[in-house]
Structure 1
């Protein structure tokens, strides 16, 4: 979870290990941010290259509530129906309240061939994105943006997506799955930025 300390100075902090936003002393860790690296070709109008990295000032110790997830192999595309999990504190339903407790839901991958069909997302979805959901029951919602789509592969959890956008018709719209930035399309960019910073 990324929080602004003061909007006038644009300093940020990252809270790790948080589960319930209403709980005070829950063992979560606050980390200072050294820099935020936004993709140079990010375009908020076209919603492309919707990815950024956060460099913390100091390393964070793993614990029972703080664990690292792996990056997927470069270029990997998961098959249609692959089971993944979305997590976030976004709205519980369209125009509903924001969640206090971290929500988690199974969101199967929808392959590009399906998601790019005219009655799905059509040309709005690109190969650098991954779709998941679209059953009209479970989806990401406003406030989940930037959160992960985690998928277990070969016994390891990998971050395959970053919540990018959903339907303006409502969060749980049939054939309008949640759209994520496909992390595996940006592995070279991620490695380049890590080595430079």
Structure 2
């Protein structure tokens, strides 16, 4: 079996689908206790028509959201301040995405470098329901065994342990320890729901250390997250470009 066949046979790639975020073995959170959570509504048009898909993300400054690269499509609306996304809550802020940048080395097959930065058309109004979250410094790592939180889209969350790299190296042939995190709890039955929580943050010690990326199709352990600290220099560089209006060409700006 080739590496490509192995990847496609064993991994459910976390492409967005038309379902709200779900968590396996999680709990309902206190309303608006995760004010950095973003809900990405993505407009998709193909030969059969137009529909919407959904992903997670998180606010890192009033005009910028971080998410997974595989979530980004031509037209994206970000919803902030949501607890129940099915309701039109007064706390919600709906802001269109003006531009975005996907990591130049992102691979849609292996999901290497699965990270994207979205520039909002206007700044979010920061209040008790909408706040941004801090990022780790460059190459800052979380100790093995640390318990971190993964939220769906604001209502549910699950606590997962950071693993050493061995479980993911064993299961995923293309796992990269520098740019990825291995997370999960083999015995708890807890997990992110593989196809409806992509792009959401893994929060450890009040910082967004990971981005939900992919996992196995037939079991909940282990899971792979994009390691945010590895990409911190790239993130800062793109934020400077946003400020200077010097974004690389993207579908939304052509």
Please confirm whether the aligned pair reaches a TM-score higher than 0.5, indicating the same fold: yes
* C-alpha separation in 1, matches of 2:172 and 2:103: 24
Equivalent positions of 1:3-152 (< 5 A) are: 3-5=41-43, 7=45, 10-89=74-153, 102-112=155-165, 114-118=166-170, 121-127=171-177, 128-136=179-187, 137-141=189-193, 142-152=195-205
Q: Which secondary structure state, in structure 1, belongs to the residue aligned with residue 192 of structure 2?
A: coil
Which residue does 1:162 correspond to in 2?
211
Relative to 1, partners in 2 of residues 1:116 and 1:5: Cα closer, same or farther, differing over 3 Å? closer
Give a deviation string over 1:24-53, Cα, whole Å, max 9, x none: 234111112111211111101111010000
Give a deviation string over 1:61-89, Cα, whole Å, max 9, x none: 22222121101010012111111100115
Give a deviation string over 1:118-176, Cα, whole Å, max 9, x none: 2xx35332111012113251111121111110111xxxx21100000011113x2xxx2
Give a deviation string over 1:94-137, Cα, whole Å, max 9, x none: xxxxxxx721011111122x33452xx35332111012113251
Q: RCO higher in 1 or 2 (8 Å CA, sep ≥ 6)?
A: 2
* C-alpha separation in 2, matches of 1:84 and 1:76: 15
* C-alpha separation in 1, matches of 2:138 and 2:114: 17
Q: Mind listing any 5+ residue stretches in structure 2 that lack a counterpart?
A: 1-38, 51-72, 243-254
Question: Is the counterpart of residue 178 in structure 1 residue 242 in structure 2?
Answer: no
Relative to 1, partners in 2 of residues 1:40 and 1:21: Cα closer, same or farther, differing over 3 Å? same
Q: Contact between 1:140 and 1:166, CA under 8 Å: does it hold in 2?
A: no
Superposition deviation, residue 177 in structure 1: 1.9
Q: Which secondary structure state, in structure 1, belongs to the residue aligned with residue 173 of structure 2?
A: helix
Q: Which secondary structure state, in structure 1, belongs to the residue aligned with residue 126 of structure 2?
A: coil
TM-score (norm 2): 0.64
Q: Which secondary structure state, in structure 2, belongs to the residue aligned with residue 107 of structure 1?
A: strand
Q: Mind listing any 5+ residue stretches in structure 1 that lack a counterpart?
A: 90-100
Q: CA-atom RMSD, angstroms?
A: 1.9
